[in-house]
């Protein structure tokens, strides 16, 4: 790991004091903000996440708020997912595409009302695209980044911890739905969602001033549940096939290549800016696609650049994320693989910086 020079530009979060007190050992930078990556070790954090409950500072999932009469129209312009049936109280995972069908971000859209939305973004300045579109199309909508910082509660004991702070009502929140709950007199949106496969919630903390009071209340309430500070876990997210924008996909990729075709209703998403470009892809299918890849041999080094996937010396794809999985006893990886080699069980080679490894392509991830 390298050393990170801190500055105001790499923004702290409302929870940074808590993260530091919990002994954070590594960061990445995400939406110009600090995102913790490791507390004890990536493997210890991984085991704990699967067995207990963690509190994650994911304030870097910044919100883009759309407000005004054209908010709904604008939201549909951004994504090939058909939003007509979506109701307030729901969250949708929405691929965001440009006019060529290239992915600009893969956020979660939170519908607060017909004329008010939050978009909980991955690592790109989606605010800029949306503001540009709204300006150019002269839409009647206000767009900004509100003072809202998600705090995730993840792991099998999430319901128990959350019920102690917010009441048993949180147990009734369904997957990708949200409810409004009180904390110290403030209404907070709480959704059943999060960037792990272990279950849990995301609290949209509105107002940075209550960040640390909420952080402290959760740790106070969860002492006997072995609550720990955590963060999105590299191993667990690869096992579960949770993609990372900028790692596993870029604006060169269509949603279909990313395996997100099921979130594209290209025929009915009328008004989507990338619709024309995606109609053909939707019909013919992509020529390369995201796959799970098991890499043989010892623990792989950190994947800090694309590793070519080859077959008899010819490049047929690339690996973008990889880690050793203690639970599955293999190196788990995410990569983009051409259709000639994407079938279950295909043997390929992976060109790591320190040599070539054998690997097996899988159609399903490890959960």
Interface residues with its own copies (CB under 8 A) are: 1-10, 12, 24-29, 32, 37-38, 98-99, 104, 123-126, 128-138, 244-247, 273, 302-306, 320-321
Q: How far is the CB of 129 from its own copies (least distance, A)?
A: 4
DSSP category for residue 96: E
CB-based burial of residue 279 (10 Å sphere; 0-12 exposed, 13-18 middle, 19+ buried)? middle
Across-strand partners of 227?
Answer: 53
Q: If we measure between CA atoms, which residue out of 358, 356, 286, 351 comes closest to residue 319?
A: 351
Pairing between β-strand 63-67 and β-strand 116-120 as defined by DSSP bridges: antiparallel
Q: Give 158 or 244: the residue with its C-beta nearer to its own copies.
A: 244
Minimum CB separation of residue 99 from its own copies in Å reads 6
- Residue whose CB is less far from its own copies, 12 or 338: 12
CA-based nearest residue to 303, from 289, 293, 313: 293
Of the pair 264, 323, the CB lying nearest its own copies is at 323
Q: Considering the complex, what minimum distance in angstroms separates the CB of residue 256 from its own copies? A: 21
SS3 label, residue 132: helix
CB of 121 to its own copies, least distance (A): 11
- Cβ nearer to its own copies, comparing 6 with 21: 6
Two tokens at 56? 């994650």
Nearer to its own copies, 136 or 345 (CB): 136
Instruction: Scan for tokens 């690339």, then name that residue.
Output: 318
Residues whose CB falls within 8 Å of the CB of residue 133, separated by 6 or more in sequence, listed in order: 74, 77, 78, 139, 273
Q: How far is the CB of 80 from its own copies (least distance, A)?
A: 15
Query: Which of 146-176 are b and which e, b meaning 16 or more Cβ less than 10 Å from the residue's Cβ?
Result: eebbbbbbbbebbbbbbebbbeeebeebeee
CB 126, CB 187: distance < 8 Å? no
Using the minimum distance from each CB to its own copies, give the nearer residue, 95 or 261: 95
Minimum CB–partner distance for residue 50 and its own copies (Å): 20
Smallest gap from residue 330 Cβ to its own copies (A): 20
Q: Choose among 162, 249, 152, 165: nearest CA to 197.
A: 152
Pairing of β 314-325 and β 26-30: unpaired
Q: How far is the CB of 165 from its own copies (least distance, A)?
A: 28
Of 21 and 180, CB closest to its own copies: 21
CB nearer its own copies, residue 63 or residue 158: 63
Report how far residue 239's alpha carbon sits from residue 11's, in angstroms, rounded to the nearest whole number.
Answer: 30
Q: How far is the CB of 182 from its own copies (least distance, A)?
A: 29
d(CA 320, CA 342): 15
**By C-beta, is 56 or 201 nearer to its own copies?**
56
Count CB-CB contacts under 10 A for residue 182: 10
């Amino acid at each position: 790991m390298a050393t990170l020079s801190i500055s105001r530009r790499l923004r702290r979060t409302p929870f940074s004091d808590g993260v530091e007190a919990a002994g954070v050992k590594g960061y990445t930078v995400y939406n110009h903000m600090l995102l913790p990556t490791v507390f004890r070790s990536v493997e210890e954090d991984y085991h704990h996440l699967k067995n207990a409950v963690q509190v994650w500072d994911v304030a870097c999932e910044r919100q883009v708020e759309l407000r005004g009469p054209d908010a709904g129209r604008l939201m549909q312009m951004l994504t090939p997912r058909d939003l007509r049936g979506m109701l307030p109280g729901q969250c949708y995972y929405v691929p965001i595409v440009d006019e060529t069908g290239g992915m600009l971000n893969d956020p979660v859209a939170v519908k607060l009302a017909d004329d008010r939305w939050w978009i909980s973004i991955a690592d790109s300045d989606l605010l800029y695209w949306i503001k540009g579109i709204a300006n150019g199309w002269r839409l009647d909508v206000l767009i900004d980044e509100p003072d809202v910082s998600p705090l995730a509660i993840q792991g099998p004991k999430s319901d128990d911890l959350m019920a102690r702070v917010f009441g048993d009502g949180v147990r009734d929140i369904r997957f990708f739905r949200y409810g409004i709950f009180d904390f110290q007199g403030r209404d907070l949106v709480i959704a059943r969602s999060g960037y792990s496969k272990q279950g849990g919630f995301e609290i949209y903390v509105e107002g940075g001033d209550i960040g640390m009071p909420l952080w402290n209340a959760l740790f106070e309430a969860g002492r006997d549940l072995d609550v720990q500070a955590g963060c999105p876990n590299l191993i667990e997210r690869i096992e579960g096939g949770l993609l990372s924008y900028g790692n596993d996909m870029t604006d060169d990729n269509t949603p279909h290549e990313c395996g997100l075709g099921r979130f594209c209703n290209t025929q009915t998403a009328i008004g989507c800016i990338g619709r024309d470009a995606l109609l053909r892809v939707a019909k013919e299918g992509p020529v390369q696609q995201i796959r799970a890849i098991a890499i043989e041999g010892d623990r792989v080094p950190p994947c800090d650049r694309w590793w070519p996937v080859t077959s008899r010396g010819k490049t047929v794809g690339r690996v973008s994320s990889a880690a050793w999985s203690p639970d599955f006893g293999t190196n788990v990886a995410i990569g983009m693989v051409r259709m000639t080699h994407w079938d279950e069980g295909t043997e390929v080679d992976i060109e790591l910086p320190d040599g070539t490894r054998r690997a097996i392509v899988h159609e399903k991830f490890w959960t």
